[in-house]
Amino acid sequence: TAVSSPLHVRRMSSSGGPTPPFTTLSVSRPAETITHVEICRPEKRNAMNKAFWLEMVDCFNQIAEDSECRVVVFSGAGKLFTSGIDLMGMASDILQPEGDDTARISWNVRRVITKYQETFSVIEKCPKPVIVAIHGACIGGGVDLITACDIRLCTQDAWFQVKEVDIGLAADVGTLQRLPRVIGSRSLVNELAFTARKMYADEAKSCGLVSRVFPDKDTMMAGALEMAGEIASKSPVAVQGTKVNLIYSRDHSVPEALHYMNTWNMSMLQTQDLMKSAQAAMEKKSLKDITFSKL
C-alpha cells in the first residue's frame, strides 16, 4: 500500500543541513510532488562514508513508497557534487575484512560489495524518475551514482572522473556496468576507466553522459526543478510505467521487452488518467491543470 509522505522533509528546496534521522542527506519538498535529495557533507567534499551508503537505501526505498512524490531531484551541497568514496571512513570494510581464512574473508567482502551496489541500484528500482544535478567535481563513486539516475544535468565547470584504477581497484558498484550503456562508445568508456582522466562538461554533453549544461549551479537547480515540475504534471501511472519499462528494455531483448510491455499495459491502460489526458489534449488544456490521483 502506498504511504503518504513517509519521509521527514523540509518544505523548501535548499539544504539547512542533514534531515534527521539522516546524517549525510538533506531531504526537502520544493513542490508538493517533487522531492529534493541532497548529499550533505560539504565540509568533507560530500565524500561517501559508511552512513551514506546505508542512508541512500533507506531514503530511496521510502521515496518509492511515497504516494506524494512523483519526481526526485538529486544534488550535492557545497562547492562540488562529490569527491567519491570516503577512504578513511570505509577502510575497515575494504582493507580489513573479517574472516578466519580466504573463503570466509572473500565471502564477507562479497557481502560488503553487494550491500554497496544496492546503494545505487535502489535509484533504478525506485519507479519515480530521478534527475541528478551535478556541479564542480563528480569523482569515483559519484559516477556510479549518476549513471543510475534517469536524467543528468551539469554546470559548465563540472568534471567527471572514473577514479578507481588510481586507488588500486576496478570500479565495483555500477560504473563499469552502466556507463557503457549511457555513453554508447566502448572506446571512450575504456579510455576513461583505464586512464582515470578527467572528462569536462562539454565532452560529457557531446558523448551523452549529460543532456544539458548550465552556466552555474543556481541556474542548473532552477532548470532541474522546472523539468521536475513538467514531469510531475503528467500521469504518474504513465511516467512510472515508462521508467520501469525503459529499465527493463535496457536489460532485455526487444521481443522480451515488448512482451513485458504488453503484460504491463494490459492493466495500466485501465486508468482514468488516460481519459483525463486525452480530454485535456482535446480541450487544449495544460496537464498542470489536471488532477491525477496519487500513486
| Same-domain pairing of 138 and 70 | yes
Angle between helices 50-65 and 87-95 (to 10 degrees): 90
pLDDT in the model for residue 14: 52
Instruction: State the pLDDT at residue 16.
Output: 77
CA angle at 166 for the pair 164 and 168, rounded to the nearest 5°: 75
Instruction: State the catalytic residue, choosing from 85, 131, 146, 151.
Output: 85
- Do 186 and 104 belong together in one domain? yes
d(CA 233, CA 66): 16
Whether residue 74 lies inside any domain: the answer is yes
Q: What is the pLDDT of residue 97?
A: 78
Asked whether the beta carbons of 99 and 112 are under 8 A apart, the reply is no
pLDDT tens digit sequence for 213-237: 999 999 999 999 999 999 999 999 9
In the residue annotation, 216 being an active-site residue is answered as no
Average pLDDT over residues 28-35: 97
Given a cut of 60, whether residue 196 has pLDDT beyond it is: yes
- Could you give the count of Cα atoms lying within 13 Å of 162 in the half-sphere of its Cβ? 26
pTM for this entry: 0.93
Q: Residue 109 domain-assigned?
A: yes
Are both 142 and 240 inside the same structural domain? no
Q: What angle do CA 200, 202, 205 make, to 5 degrees?
A: 105
Out of 144, 174, 241, 273, pick the active-site residue.
144
240 falls within a domain? yes
CATH number at residue 281: 1.10.12.10
User: In terms of domains, do 163 and 257 share one?
Assistant: no
Q: Which of 55, 66, 124, 164 is catalytic?
A: 164
Cα–Cα dist 223/214, whole Å: 8
Q: What is the pLDDT of residue 15?
A: 57
Q: Are residues 110 and 191 in the same domain?
A: yes
How many structural domains are present in the chain? 2
Domain identity same for 114 and 36: yes
What is the domain range of residue 45? 25-232
Between 167 and 124, where is the model more confident?
Answer: 124
Residue 101 maps to a domain? yes
* Contact yes or no for 9/30 (Cβ under 8 A): no
Q: Does residue 241 share a domain with residue 134?
A: no
Q: Is residue 133 in a domain?
A: yes
Is 47 in the same domain as 170? yes
Q: Looking at the structure, tell me whether residues 78 and 195 fall in a common domain.
A: yes
The answer to the question of residue 270 being in a domain is yes
Q: Is residue 219 part of a domain?
A: yes
Same domain, 282 and 173: no
Domain end point (choices 232, 255, 281):
232
Tell me the per-residue pLDDT of 278-289, one tens digit each, with 9 for 90 and over: 999 999 999 988
Is 43 known to be catalytic? no
Q: Which of 172, 223, 229, 247 is catalytic?
A: 172
Alpha-carbon distance 253 to 259, whole Å?
A: 10
Same-domain status, 172 and 241: no
- Residue 186's domain is classified under what CATH number? 3.90.226.10
* Residue 2 pLDDT level (bands cut at 50, 70, 90): very low
Question: Do 246 and 189 share a structural domain?
Answer: no
Among 78, 136, 141, 241, the active-site one is 141
* Active site annotation includes 85: yes
pLDDT digits (tens, 9 = 90+) for 235-294: 999 999 999 999 999 999 999 999 999 999 999 999 999 999 999 999 999 998 899 999
Structural domain includes residue 1: no
Between CA 189 and CA 292 the distance in angstroms is 41
Rounded CA gap, 37 and 19, in Å?
10
Whether 144 sits among the annotated catalytic residues: the reply is yes
68 is catalytic: no
